[in-house]
Amino acid sequence: MSDVTVDLLGMKLQNPTVLPSGILGESLGMLEEAAVKGVGMLITKSITMRPREGYQGPTVIEAVPGGLINAMGLPNPGVEEFAKTYKPKMSGVPVVPSLYGNSVSELRVLSLAIDRLDPPAVEVNLSCPHAGGSSRRKLVAQDPALTAQHIGAVASTTDVPIIAKLSPNVTDIYEIAAAALFAGASAISAVNTFSAIEIDGHFERPVLGNFIGGMSGPAIKPLALAKVTEISLAMRDGRLEEAPIIAYGGASNGEDIAKFLLIGATAVGLGSAVYKRDVDIFSESTDELKVWMKEKGYDDIPAFRGKALEWLESEETPEYGDEAPEDSAFVNMQSPLPKPSEDESEEGEEEDEEDLDEDVEEDDLDEEDLEE
- Show which residues are catalytic: 128
Is residue 97 within a helix (H) or strand (E), and if so which, with residue range? strand 93-99
Nearest to 79 by CA among 105, 45, 104, 55: 45
For 251, residues 6+ apart whose C-beta sits below 8 A from its C-beta are 221, 257, 259, 260, 268, 269, 270, 273, 285
Helix, strand, coil in percent for the chain, rounding step 5: 40, 20, 40
Radius of gyration of the chain (CA): 26
Count of CB atoms situated within 10 Å of the CB of 274: 21
List of residues 6+ apart from 99 with CB closer than 8 A:
46, 47, 107, 110, 111, 114, 122, 123, 124, 125, 154
- Alpha helices, H only, 65-220: 79-85, 104-115, 144-155, 173-183
**DSSP-assigned beta bridge partners for residue 98:** 46, 123
Residue 16 and residue 254: Cα distance in Å, rounded? 10
Q: Are 122 and 159 in contact (CB under 8 A)?
A: no
Are residues 114 and 47 in contact, defined by beta-carbon separation less than 8 angstroms?
yes
User: Closest Cα to residue 289, out of 262, 263, 254, 265?
Assistant: 254
CB hemisphere CA count around 355 (13 angstroms): 6
DSSP string, 178-212: HHHHHHT-SEEEE--PEEE--EETTTTEESSTTS-
